[in-house]
Chain A
Amino acid sequence: MTLTMFTLNAFYGLALAMNMFIIASGLNLIFGVLRVINFAHGMFYMFGAYITFTVAKSWGAPFFVGVLAAAAALGVIAFAIERLLLRHLYDKEHLMQLLFTFALVLLMSDAAKMIWGTDQYSVGYPPGLGGAVNLGFVALPQYQLFLCAVGPLIAVAMWLLVDRTRWGRVVRAATQDREMLSALGVNVPMVYAAVFTIGSALAGVGGALAAPRIALVPGMDATVINECFIIVIIGGLGNLWGSFLGALAFGFVVQFGTVLAPNWQDVLPYLLMLVVLLIRPWGLLGRPETN
C-alpha cells in the first residue's frame, strides 16, 4: 500500500468513524442515563437520512436546513415516544424495554415504506463541500474533512454538556439515584425525556450527515444499529470517550478491512468486538459490572 493509498484510507476510516460516533454517542447517552437499549436508534438514523433527502432534494432547501430538519423531527418524534409510551416501562424488566424498542423498529420500518417507498435515493454533497483539498501527495475530499471536524466538535460539546454544566450534573445524578434526585426537587421524568430527545436527535443528525455519503435504502437502519452497538460495547457502555475510541477502532477496521480483505467487511466489526470483549469484557474504557 502506497503512502497515498494509506493516507486516503486512514482518512476515509476517520470520516466513517466520526459519522458513526455521532450516531453511537446518542445511543450511548440514552443507555448511560436511561439504561434503555434502544434498538430503534438505527431507525431514527434512517429517518434522519430520509428527511434530509425530502427537505434538501425534493423541496430544494439547502442541505444544512435538511440536517436541522432531521434533528428537529427526530427530537419531536423521540419526545412523543418517551412521554407517551417509554416512560411507563422504566420500572419493568430490561427485556420489556428491548421488545418495546424492537416494536418501534417494526412500526417505523413500515411507516418509512409507506412514506418513501422502497426506491433507492441519494443526496448530493452540499455546495462548497463537494470538492477536494489537494495536499500534494493526496487529495482529500472536503465533505469527509467536514465530518472529521464535526465529530470531535460534537464529542467536546457533549462532554461539556454532561460534565461541565449544572444540567449535566443533574443528568449524572439521575444515573446514580433517581429517587433521591426527585426528592431534591428535580423533575426527573423531564430529565429522562430530554436525554432521550437529545440522544435521538443525534441519530437524526448522524443520518442526515451520512446521507451524502451513502445510498438511502430500506434496511439501512439494521446494519447501523448493529454497528452502533459494536462501537458502544467496544468503548464501554455509557462512556462518551469510550464510544469515541470505539468509533475510531470501528472506522479503521472497516475501511482497511474493505481494502485488505474485500468482502469480509461485514464480519470484521463483529470480530473486533469479539476480540475486545474477550480481552476486556467491559469495553476499552468501561468499568466491570457491580453485582
Chain B
Amino acid sequence: MPQRRTLVASAIVVLLLALLPLSGSRYAVDLATEVLIYALFALSLNVVIGFTGNISFGHAAYFAIGGYACAILLTTYDWPLAVSLPAAVVLAGLVAAAVGYFCVRLTQIYFAMLTLAFAMLVWGVAFKWKEVTGGDDGFTGIKLPAMLAHHVGYFYFTLAVVAAGVAALWVICHSAFGLTLVAVRENAVRAGFIGVDTRRMRWAAFTVAGTFGGLAGALFGMYHRGMYIENAFWTESANVLIMVLLGGIYSFVGPIFGAAALHLLQTFTNQYTPYWPTVLGLILLVIVLVLPDGLIGLAARFKAHRGARRGRT
C-alpha cells in the first residue's frame, strides 16, 4: 500500500493539474495534455528498462498499435469509445505479449535489436496497409464523442486516464511482482536460483509495458485526431527512451519528470531556434558526463547535500 505522503502528494498534483484549465490558456492546456500522454508512455517503457534492466528499442510499436487501433475502431467501425479504447489497449498488450515471447529469450543488445526489428515490422504494416491505416498519409479525421471534442474536456479525460494508468503501474511496480523484477534486474542468476522464472517475469513486464504504451498511444491519437507512421518509427522509440533516461530509470516517478522536461524543453526551444538537436545533444552530454542518475538522481543529491549542511549547523 502506498504511504500516506505519496497518496497526498499525488492527490495534490492531480488537483493542481485539474485547476489548470481555469487559467483560460488553451496553449497551457494542450501542452499539459501532451505532457501527460508522454509521461504515461515513458513510465510504461520504464517497466522494461528500469525494472528488468533490458533496453527496449521498439516501444513505439505498442504506442502506434494502441493509437491506430483506437482510431480505426472509433472512426472506421464507429464503435463507442468505451469499447474502442479498452479493445485497442488489449490489442497492444496482446501484440506485446507475442513479441515479448520471442524477445525475452535474448538479453542486452540482442534484446534491443529484436525489439527494434519487430517495431519496424509494425511500422512496415502501418506504412503498407494503406486501406486500413492510411499509409504514409496517416490516419486522420478520428471521430470523438462530443464531450471530448473540446480541448478542456479532452484534457480532463486524459488526466483521469493517465492518473488511473500511473496508479495501476505504481501498484504493479510495488507489488511482489515488481520487486521480483528488480531482483531479476540486479542478479538474474541468483533470482533463478531462488526459484524465479526470470524469463517469464521479463515476459510479463514486457507485456505490461506494451499494454500501457498502447493506452498512451490511444490517448495520443485521439488528441491529435490522427495517427501517422512516424509514430511507429524507431525515432519515436528513441525519443521515449531518452525521456526515460533523462528522468532516471531507477525511480518510479523519474520517467514522468523526464517526459515533462524533454517535451517542454523541446516545445520552448523550437520557438526560438531550429537547433533543437544541438540543445538535446548538449543535455545528453551533461547527463552522461555529469548526471548519470538523471534528474531524479540530481534531486536526490541536492537533498543529501542540503541535509548534510543542515546537519553541520
Q: A101-109, A149-157, A202-210: which lies at the B interface?
A: A101-109
Interface membership of chain B positions 102-144, coded 1 if the CB is closer than 8 angstroms to chain A and 0 otherwise: 1001111110011011101101100110000000000000000
A267–B289 contact, CB under 8 A? no
CB nearest neighbor in A for B124: A267
A104 and B105 in contact (CB under 8 A), knowing A229-B113, A263-B128, A264-B124?
Answer: no
A103–B113 contact, CB under 8 A? no
B245–A95 contact, CB under 8 A? yes
B123–A100 contact, CB under 8 A? no
A88 within 8 A of B: yes
B12 within 8 A of A: no
Enumerate A238-278 residues with CB–CB distance to B below 8 Å.
Answer: 263-264, 266-267, 270-271, 273-274, 277-278
Q: Which residues of B contact A37 (CB under 8 A)?
A: 109
B278–A107 contact, CB under 8 A? yes
A110–B278 contact, CB under 8 A? yes
- Give Cα A100 to B281, complex, Å: 8
B284 within 8 A of A: yes
Q: Which residues of B contact A291 (CB under 8 A)?
A: 189
Q: Which residues of B contact A226 (CB under 8 A)?
A: 116, 234
B124–A100 contact, CB under 8 A? no
A93 within 8 A of B: yes
A277 and B113 in contact (CB under 8 A), knowing A99-B284, A267-B120, A270-B120?
Answer: yes
Q: Quick one: which of A92, A109, A282 contacts B292, CB cutoff 8 A?
A: A92
B105–A289 contact, CB under 8 A? no
Q: Which residues of B contact A274 (CB under 8 A)?
A: 114, 117-118, 121
- Give Cα A195 to B19, complex, Å: 57
Interface of A is mostly: helix
B282 within 8 A of A: yes
Interface membership of chain B positions 275-308, coded 1 if the CB is closer than 8 angstroms to chain A and 0 otherwise: 1011011101101110010000000000000000
Q: Which residues of A contact B242 (CB under 8 A)?
A: 99, 102
A270 and B288 in contact (CB under 8 A), knowing A233-B113, A264-B128, A277-B114?
Answer: no
Enumerate A78-127 residues with CB–CB distance to B below 8 Å.
Answer: 85, 88-89, 92-96, 98-100, 102-107, 109-110
Q: Quick one: which of B123, B189, B282, B289 contacts A88, CB cutoff 8 A?
A: B289
Q: Quick one: which of B117, B123, B238, B245 contacts A273, CB cutoff 8 A?
A: B117
Enumerate B235-261 residues with CB–CB distance to A below 8 Å.
Answer: 235, 238, 242, 245, 249
Q: Which residues of A line the B interface, CB within 8 A?
A: 37, 85, 88-89, 92-96, 98-100, 102-107, 109-110, 222, 226, 229-230, 233, 237, 263-264, 266-267, 270-271, 273-274, 277-278, 281-282, 289, 291
A-B contact pairs, 27 of them (CB 8 A): A85-B285, A85-B289, A92-B292, A93-B292, A94-B109, A95-B55, A96-B288, A96-B292, A99-B245, A100-B289, A102-B242, A103-B281, A106-B281, A107-B278, A107-B281, A107-B285, A109-B277, A110-B278, A110-B281, A226-B234, A230-B117, A233-B110, A266-B120, A270-B124, A277-B113, A281-B106, A289-B108
Q: Which 3 A-B pairs have the closest CB atoms?
A: A267-B124, A106-B281, A103-B284
